[in-house]
Amino acid sequence: MKVLRWNGCWLRIFCAGLVLAAGCAHQSDHAAEADFFESAKTDFANWPGRIIDDSKDTFLRADNLTALLLAGGASIAMHQSRADRKIANYFDRHGIFYGFTDESLNVIGCPGTHFAATGLWYAISIDNEDDFNKERAWTMMTALSVTGLVTVGLKAVRDNQTPNGKSWAWPSGHTSSSFTAASVLDEFYGPKVGIPAYALASLVAYRMMDTGDHWASDVVFGATLGWVVGHTIAGKHKKLEVAGFELIPCTAAGRGQAMGINLVRRF
């Protein structure tokens, strides 16, 4: 029942995010509203195929598989050697997150919060006719979806308990989703955004151990999964830029064929 309630909370937040996103796109101009729903309809129709393609590109890469296998091996070693238990006992004696701080990090790290924020980003981009940010928002949505599906699948297979007795411990969904979001932002906007995003994701991961909601091994694998998925999918869909200018290939025909690039920047 705890698992069902947790998943229900996630689903409600996700649906609330979609409602909020749709509300942001609502205008008195019915044509603008129709454009939003038409665009969303097209993207959602193509979503399953994009998730499958991006999952293949992510999990069939040798370097990604190596990173995930190493993290999985480390998780097994930590759990079997009782390192997990020792770390959990330390946090039980030296916990630092309580009350408002604890709940704030819980909400910030919740996958439903990430979906809701991404839905808002997507809706605002459509409302502003900003195809560049719309595509980035949809890339974030896809990365979060791939991470979420893999995380839930692994939880169902592993089905072990957390230090405080909750079900579906490995891997940590809060951690995997937070590191996915941070990795996508880092890939898109560089270290000025990426470093603070990783710092916040790390706080979420620390909080999951501090409160007994997860073992250290759950956090290690969750962070690795999020990092792999986020960077791979965002890197695949990121448009090439130089000094803020988008690089677009071009060809020209005259006395002879010519090839080059255009530098485009939106103001």
- pLDDT tens profile 2-12: 444 444 454 55
Per the structure block, which two tokens stand in for 223?
């962070």
pLDDT at 42: 87
pLDDT at 28 over 90: no
Query: Cα(186)–Cα(198) distance, rounded to whole angstroms?
Result: 8
3-state secondary structure of 245: strand
Query: Cα(161)–Cα(165) distance, rounded to whole angstroms?
Result: 5
Virtual torsion, Cα 151, 154, 158, 161, nearest 10 deg: 10
Per the structure block, which two tokens stand in for 33?
């509203």
**What is the mean predicted confidence (pLDDT) over 75-96?**
94
**What is the mean predicted confidence (pLDDT) over 14-33?**
52
3-state secondary structure of 230: helix
Round the CA-based radius of gyration of the chain to a whole number and report it: 21
**What is the mean predicted confidence (pLDDT) over 112-135?**
93
Confidence band of 89 (pLDDT split at 50, 70, 90):
very high
Mean of all residue pLDDT scores within the chain: 85
Q: Which residue type occupies 7? A: N
Query: Cα(46)–Cα(42) distance, rounded to whole angstroms?
Result: 6
Judge contact between 175 and 208, C-beta under 8 A. Answer: yes
3-state secondary structure of 84: helix
Q: Which residue type occupies 136? A: R
- Please give the span between the terminal C-alpha atoms of the chain, in angstroms, as a whole number: 52
Residue owning tokens 């809060």: 174
Confidence band of 246 (pLDDT split at 50, 70, 90):
low
Percent of the chain with pLDDT over 90: 69
**Sign (positive or negative) of CA dihedral 104, 109, 112, 115:** positive
Query: Cα(55)–Cα(44) distance, rounded to whole angstroms?
Result: 17
pLDDT at 2: 40
Strand order in the sheet with 241-242: 241-242, 245-253, 257-264
Backbone angles phi, psi at 257, to 5 degrees: -70, 140
